[in-house]
Chain A
């Protein structure tokens, strides 16, 4: 990677981790001040960016389209949410130690699976391990059976749908349709405070940088080459002595952990998690962020998650009816005209202007040139979303 690009990343990281929260800490009235609302909004977007990085690993690099990442996001979010619910304690509306929705549902005792979430360390571990275990079992069963391409996508979509149905049920004791909300504090810090929110924002930004470095390490290692190789020709990988299933399970688990982490960071900043955030539609929206930003590059999913969500919050404030049309149009435009997304297209343009920079483009596993014969064989293995 050219050092210019590296410095760009460092500058971006400093801007996100240090500058933005510092501007928020300025006294009210200062012209440069970033409002609490804006910072909180960005905190949510950064959490989404962590999730998008994970989707890019499995989809952009490995060519496996998962339409069920909302589930892993949800598992992390609900694990965190359950701890926050228990932290409310008797400050709740009913003044009961049980969460309010349990009081409405006339649950007398805290269900057994809620008990360990009193513990902070357990919650922090569960946020990562629950999605990981679930992804491991699910990935092991599907990838070992050599379920590929569109079939895998359909199964993950079914997973998102069934999880959504399950979490909607009151009998699950997870708050049903209303989900978990009404949190007062996180690990003892009151949520209704600008300082806590700023702390949450900084934590999210640091986690995003960590996730980015992790993904960078993976994709630049020989194992990262294997992931791209799986996308290009899974058969050849198999006959080269690698087990594609093992690599796919690995990368699926990593991406699920990132999704779980994103969910856990999302909950205290947004203050509510409901099944509506983990079903089929949100899972597809996550795919759109990555497609728009540029799959197969690490900057792409971050740019996509921030950009699309920012656009959404701008548009829904002023033209609420227009948003879904714009989102759909954006997706269609990317699929038809910019299959490499914003970052991929920009890299191609830079490579065209500065031929010497071409190597940096190709390193990310995206073709540096136009469509070559080799593209055709890739098309058969990669589940693209466009209808054919």
Chain B
């Protein structure tokens, strides 16, 4: 648990003393957080710990009251609009599936493809090249929707929509993927496949996952960060975190039912 607040060399995302203030409620409080390139990190924490706000700050949806957010070597993200942050290589998967229901599965991916410019005029004239087409087909296979590219996306099941959205973030060629509670509402089988999917895409890029489901967290078996009241409580492996007295207190102190959540 060697955690320092100093700017680490080679981190893909680095948050320094970030505070987010919602009318007096500090959703993030002097938060320091960083991730390495190609790291798969899971962030857990009780409700209101600031997990989603952390993703909001990185993806530009929420502007922090104080602090710095550095992407890669030098890119300061604070103040940039969401679409520019997305173009820089930060992809976001939302908690509830957000896909384009009236487009086909393939069009959903094509639209999300990384392109040099996503301005109006460039998009009017954009045509897919062979490499991009291949990339879309490959991603269809990766997310388990091979052969279903022509289907209307709105007709997919809940789990398939979640995978499609993950696929959309993949074709964005994001270096950093932000994934918010991907398995909420999924069946056990879908949960297992989602874990496999996340592990396979984490080979090429950094992935930050927010999750409640400890079994799922264990299946990803990577480094876990526990957030509490807008700050990092502790970091470590799943076992280390579950043994940590402070973590138990945070979960148990709030409500007894959390006991199952953390020990499940």
Q: Does A232 contact B101, Cβ atoms closer than 8 Å?
A: yes
Cβ-defined contact, A242 with B118, below 8 A? yes
A218 CA to B124 CA, complexed, in Å = 7
Q: Does B216 sit at the interface, judged by CB under 8 A?
A: no
A228 touches B83 (CB 8 A): no
Known contacts: A229-B103, A240-B111, A241-B118. The answer to whether A374 contacts B155 by CB under 8 A is yes
B90-112 Cβ-contact flags toward A at 8 Å (1 or 0): 01101000111111100100111
Residues of B within 8 A of A352 (CB): none
B172 in contact with A241 (CB, 8 Å): yes
Complex contacts, B153 vs chain A, CB 8 Å: 374
| A228-B103, A233-B99 known; A373-B86 Cβ under 8 A | no
Decide if B82 touches A238 in the complex (CB within 8 Å): yes
Is A386 in the interface zone, CB < 8 Å from B? no
Q: Given B83, B86, B100, which contacts A229 in the complex, CB threshold below 8 Å? A: B100
* Nearest Cβ on chain B to A293's Cβ, whole angstroms: 19
Q: Which of A225, A231, A247, A375 contacts B120 (CB 8 A)?
A: A247
Does B125 touch A at the CB level, under 8 Å?
A: yes
Taken together as a complex, chains A and B put the C-alpha atoms of A365 and B103 apart, in Å, by: 7
A221 x B86 contact (CB < 8 A): no
Q: Are A238 and B86 in contact (CB under 8 A)?
A: yes
Name the B residues within 8 Å of A373 (CB-CB). 154, 158
Q: How many residues of A are in contact with the other chain, CB < 8 A? A: 35
Tell me if A226 counts as interface (CB < 8 A to partner B). yes
Q: Which residues of A contact B124 (CB under 8 A)?
A: 218, 221-223
**What is the count of residue pairs linking A and B with beta-carbon distances less than 8 angstroms?**
120
Q: From A235, which residue of chain B is reached at the shortest CB distance?
A: B98
Interface string of A203-222 (1 = CB under 8 A from B): 00000000000000010011
Residue A378 is within 8 A (CB to CB) of chain B in the complex: yes
| A239 and B102 form a contact (CB under 8 A) | no
Report the Cα distance A366→B124, complex, angstroms: 20
Per-residue contact bits, chain A 320-333, to B (CB 8 Å; 1 contact, 0 not): 00000000000000
| A239 B103 Cβ-Cβ under 8 A | no
Q: Give bound CA distance, A87 to B125, whole Å.
A: 42
Q: Does B256 touch A at the CB level, under 8 Å? A: no
Pick 23 A–B contacts, CB within 8 A, sort by A. Answer: A221-B123, A221-B125, A221-B126, A225-B100, A228-B103, A232-B100, A233-B98, A236-B98, A236-B100, A236-B165, A240-B118, A241-B84, A241-B86, A243-B83, A250-B120, A365-B102, A367-B102, A369-B155, A373-B158, A374-B102, A374-B161, A378-B101, A378-B154
